[in-house]
Amino acid sequence: MTEDLQRLIGQRVVLDTAGPIVYLGTLKEVCPAGFWLQDADVHDCRDGHASKEVYLIEAGRDGVSPNRRRVFVLTSSVLSISALGDIVLH
C-alpha cells in the first residue's frame, strides 16, 4: 500500500467509479483486491436528483448518510479515491 493511501485509513473518503455509482465512507482497510469502507453510503446517481458532482458537494457539506455498515469495493471498480474533506464546495 502506498503512503498516500495509508494516510487515508480512518478518514471519510470518496471512491469514484466510471459509472453512476459512488462510494462514501470511512476507509478501514486497503488490500490488493479492494477497499473496505465502514458506515458507507453506496449511492447510484441515477436514483436521485443530483449528478455525482452535486451529490459529493452535498455530502461534503451535510455529511454522509450511511446505508451499509461495511462494504468491500473492488479495486477494478475505482477510478479515484480522495478524502471527503478534499471536496471543493462551490
- Predicted confidence at residue 90, as pLDDT, reads 65
- Predicted confidence at residue 46, as pLDDT, reads 86
Block means of pLDDT (10 residues each) for the chain, 90 residues, are: 83 94 96 96 85 86 93 96 85
Per-domain boundaries in the chain? 3-86
For 24, 47, 69, 88, the CA distances from 38, given in Å and listed in that order, are 9, 22, 5, 23
Distance between CA 17 and CA 20 in Å, rounded? 7
- Predicted confidence at residue 2, as pLDDT, reads 67
CA 45 to chain CA mean position, Å = 13
- Predicted confidence at residue 52, as pLDDT, reads 86
Fold of 3-86: SH3 type barrels. (2.30.30)
Q: Rounded to two decimals, what is the model's pTM?
A: 0.89
